[in-house]
Amino acid sequence: MNGVLKRGSKGELVQLMQEMLKKSGYTISTDGDFGSGTEKAVFDFQKKNNLKVDGIVGSKTWILMQEQSSKIKKAETSVAINQFLSEQDFIAFADKYNLEIAAIKAVHEVESNGRGFLNGKIKILFEGHVFWKELQKRNINPVPLQKGNEDILYKSYFSPNPYYRLDQYTRLNKALGINAEAAYCAASYGLFQVMGFHYNAMQFATAKDFVDFLSIDEANQLEIFGRFLIANKLLQSLKDHNWARFASGYNGPGYKTNKYDTKLAAAYAKYKKM
């Protein structure tokens, strides 16, 4: 979690917090705007859970919200599942891979702002240049397909990319109409934004199977993060806090453009103090 949330805060983290409160039984809007209604719900949540009642969502309030909202019931199965990660999930993962929780949370924050789901769907980012390459792998010439598909199909990566500001599911669905497996391979998914084309290395038969697994809950997304670290020999870089090496292996040589290593170092320093 980046900083604290309070009245006047806006954005995805506020929306996530509102969604967690709603799952816990509060009738509030999930508009990403921390207004009076949200503040009232936070006051009540803090009072009921013996927290400091100040209407400010810091780390203690945030963690308890995650834990309480994580168990939701699927009406069709009546089986409780944990959609959101709890602090215990981070602890178990850190023990399994001999990592610092602060290092895990740094990647968790920088990759997805701590959100594996957005409006009930897995968080995604569609990459048009990857879609281009995935079509070519399947012996499909992308050039004649470009007209009318400029937002999902381009030959090379570029930044800043205005298409990142569009609805990513609209872009993905458009690509699915051209070639489904190539489309699923061309997006990154969940808390750790692992690309779909890694499906085979992550032990799945198809990219669609991989996406379906990630779409169940954040625990599955954390599991894939672990597999990804092992498969790409990035575990030691994360242990050593070698952010440049980790960033290069995780996001490729373009990491410098977005100062990925600098962001990771700052996030790690923040969580180390908590």
Give the contacts of 16 (CB within 8 A, at least 6 positions apart). 114, 115
Q: Which pLDDT belongs to residue 23?
A: 84
Asked if pLDDT for residue 245 goes beyond 90, the answer is yes
What CATH number does domain 1-69 carry, 1.10.101.10, 1.10.260.40, 3.40.50.2300, 3.40.1160.10?
Answer: 1.10.101.10
Q: From CA 266, how far away is CA 90, in angstroms rounded? A: 19
Q: How do residues 91-136 score in pLDDT, each as one tens digit?
A: 999 999 999 999 999 999 899 887 888 877 899 999 999 999 999 9
Res 83: pLDDT: 65
Q: What is the per-residue pLDDT across 41-90, written as a single tens digit (0 to 9) for each? A: 999 999 998 888 888 888 788 878 877 776 554 433 333 345 678 888 89
Count other Cβ atoms within 10 Å, centred on residue 78. 7
Q: Is 27's pLDDT higher than 70?
A: yes
Residue 103's pLDDT is what?
96
* Residue 1 pLDDT greater than 80, yes or no: no
Domain boundaries, the chain: 1-69, 121-273
d(CA 118, CA 30): 11
The predicted pLDDT at position 50 comes to 86
Report pTM: 0.74
